[in-house]
Structure 1
Amino acid sequence: MKSVTERGILSRYDTRRKANWIGFFLVLCVIILMVFTMLYPILFTFFNSFKGLVEINSFPPHLLPQDWHWENFREGWQYLNLPHFLGNTLAIFAGNMVATMFVLGLASFSMSRLSYPYRKAVYFFFLLTLFIPPSTYIVPNFVNLKDLGLLNTFWAFWLPAGASAFYLLLLKSFFDSLHLELFEAARIDGASEWRSFLQIALPLSAPIMSTLAIFVFASAWNDWFWPSLVMHGDPKYPLATAIYKKVVSGSVTGLKLNVKFAILSMVMLPPIAVFLIFQRFIIRGLHLGGVKG
């Protein structure tokens, strides 16, 4: 029996046409250019962290260091209290994740499984908020947190984390895909909606929660603007804000350029490692929680 092979981008007939090869070559060149423009800043920062101060200011510049100065990382670690700011970032991530799991999880479960008036209107209201630029509600959020006395506390991050319309709709779409018979059987056995959420919906949502955990981690790790508004002083700064104010800002003096690159490399590598390790969960979770028409 003749084996059946899947058709690729170019079939055996297509490869005989010169015009197709030209188009394929142009697409390949564009992809290589995109990869280069994405990787070059990362490699430039990483290799500069190993250079000496004279070599990093030399002209013409070169990518690879001639002498590897590992002491730059030790100086950067001593200059900036990275464990303290890392702890603040992880505290923000943990609180944001709890708000995502329970506040947004319960809201999306209610929208998916409970019957209430104007369900579609409520759904389209949350969908509409995705088209509002985030910069328009920075000032209202700041004023509300100030009136509540929550500035310079981690609640300034945890409360807004429970109002993400994108995560809400992503979770709702996932809960819509769960079999209704599971929850009907739980109701027959006397389980409440709260118990159905904790013992059925939440354990089954582990794939989409894993994806959201990566998104929440990336947001907590990279955000520096909002913390610079609501946090006042070093003890409460997350890592990204501390890096901006103490390393990237032009007001910083006395810090050598190669040590700056060493600090940036130490901060840059963990999220890259997290993405490379858990990238399959991102794709799988988005597939499971994709919005269905």
Structure 2
Amino acid sequence: MSNRERSIMSSFDYKKNSVRAGYFIMLLALIALAAAMLYPFGTTILSSFKTKQEIFSFPPSFFPQQLEWSNYKEGFKYVDLIRAFWNTLILFAGNATIPLLVVGLAAFSLSQMKLPMRKGITLFFMSTLMIPSATYLIPSFLNLQSLGLINSYWAFWLPAGANAFNILLLKGFFDGINKELFEAARLDGASELRCFYRLAVPMSIPVFSTLLIFSFTSTWNDWYWPSLVLTAPEKYPIASVVYRNIIQSLNLSWNVKFSVLTVIMIPPLLFFLVFQRNIMHGLNLSGTKG
């Protein structure tokens, strides 16, 4: 007997014309979806090598007639990407540390500790996911202003510790860990903090890696919130710098703008391609272990 696992459909099913037609339709749909998703990236990259005349030519051309590398040189004159990149890394460092210290402990408490009204607290966190983020934007700004945290990176790090989605994601993973491991550690005299850092965290590397990747992409792409809480331009992350100095600029041609957008698009794409396995593995584990 073959040890190969049987799929949903057998080899006999694949010989049917109706099954082949269905797979052909799904293949066309996937190709159309992939083309729709890749088209903006291709347009941005190829337009960064075009001349100003090619950008506004009609009918428009997808590929440039020649590669204009001078667009990148001119684009770097209008934005300090090195400082903006450093500011973004500082924000990411705080946003990556907070989930481990605060969100992880909250999720561990709801999952492995006998808290009063634990189900009610979990339901409260779930209900906050239904609230649009625009409704608490102004209250959050006023709270940070009353605390004197405007124009400070703490205006980003403190809200990162109150992310209900991350709490529920980690809780779903912690629920799948055998509770007997923690009971045995407690019998040996381990505290709850020791159980978390010595047992829960090492076994939760995939889901924590997923949170770090999500944190990186959100920090890299966020421009609206930094524009509200940061008043000093030298503290702006890369998305805010590009939006203010490139997107809103009326003096730059579109080919130069596309060159800067291409440069800042590369790091998150590489980050995702390298760690995409961690993303899928972490989400699958957190979704099936509950």
Question: What's the counterpart of residue 205 of structure 1?
Answer: 204
- The change in CA–CA distance for 1:75 and 1:123 in structure 2 (over 3 A counts) is same
Q: Give the whole-Å Cα distance in 2 for the aligned partners of 1:2 and 1:180.
A: 37
Q: Give the whole-Å Cα distance in 2 for the aligned partners of 1:110 and 1:232.
A: 37
Q: How does 1:12-27 map to 2 (within 5 A)?
A: 12-17=12-17, 19-27=18-26
Cα distance, 1:135 vs structure 2:
1.2
Question: What's the counterpart of residue 179 of structure 1?
Answer: 178
- The change in CA–CA distance for 1:32 and 1:235 in structure 2 (over 3 A counts) is same
Deviations 1:21-54 (A, max 9, x none): 3333322222211111111110000011112222
SS in 1 for 2:130: coil
Q: Give the whole-Å Cα distance in 2 for the aligned partners of 1:162 and 1:133.
A: 18
Q: Give the whole-Å Cα distance in 2 for the aligned partners of 1:62 and 1:98.
A: 46
Is 1:280 the equivalent of 2:266?
no
Q: Give the whole-Å Cα distance in 2 for the aligned partners of 1:277 and 1:290.
A: 22
Greater shift after overlay, 271-280 or 27-36? 27-36
Question: What's the counterpart of residue 99 of structure 1?
Answer: 98
Cα distance, 1:82 vs structure 2:
0.4
Structure 1, unpaired ranges of 5+: none
TM norm structure 2: 0.93
Cα distance, 1:264 vs structure 2:
0.3
On the 8 A contact 1:170/1:291 being kept in 2, the answer is no
SS in 2 for 1:79: coil
Q: Give the whole-Å Cα distance in 2 for the aligned partners of 1:20 and 1:290.
A: 30
Cα distance, 1:57 vs structure 2:
2.5
Structure 2, unpaired ranges of 5+: none
Deviations 1:160-183 (A, max 9, x none): 000110100111111121222222
On the 8 A contact 1:48/1:258 being kept in 2, the answer is yes
SS in 1 for 2:38: helix
TM norm structure 1: 0.93
Q: Percent identity?
A: 48
- The change in CA–CA distance for 1:73 and 1:8 in structure 2 (over 3 A counts) is farther
Cα distance, 1:139 vs structure 2:
1.1
- The change in CA–CA distance for 1:217 and 1:9 in structure 2 (over 3 A counts) is farther
Is 1:289 the equivalent of 2:286?
yes
Cα distance, 1:217 vs structure 2:
0.5
Cα distance, 1:68 vs structure 2:
0.9
Deviations 1:121-155 (A, max 9, x none): 11111111111111111111011001111111111
On the 8 A contact 1:210/1:285 being kept in 2, the answer is yes
Question: What's the counterpart of residue 125 of structure 1?
Answer: 124
Q: When the two structures are aligned, how many residues end up with a matched partner?
A: 290
Question: What's the counterpart of residue 53 of structure 2?
Answer: 54
Question: What's the counterpart of residue 168 of structure 1?
Answer: 167
Q: Give the whole-Å Cα distance in 2 for the aligned partners of 1:204 and 1:221.
A: 28
Question: What's the counterpart of residue 242 of structure 1?
Answer: 241
Question: What's the counterpart of residue 63 of structure 2?
Answer: 64
Deviations 1:91-147 (A, max 9, x none): 111101111111001111111111121111111111111111111111110110011
SS in 2 for 1:78: coil
Q: Give the whole-Å Cα distance in 1 for the aligned partners of 2:93 and 2:263.
A: 21
* RMSD, aligned α-carbons: 1.9
Question: What's the counterpart of residue 27 of structure 2?
Answer: 28
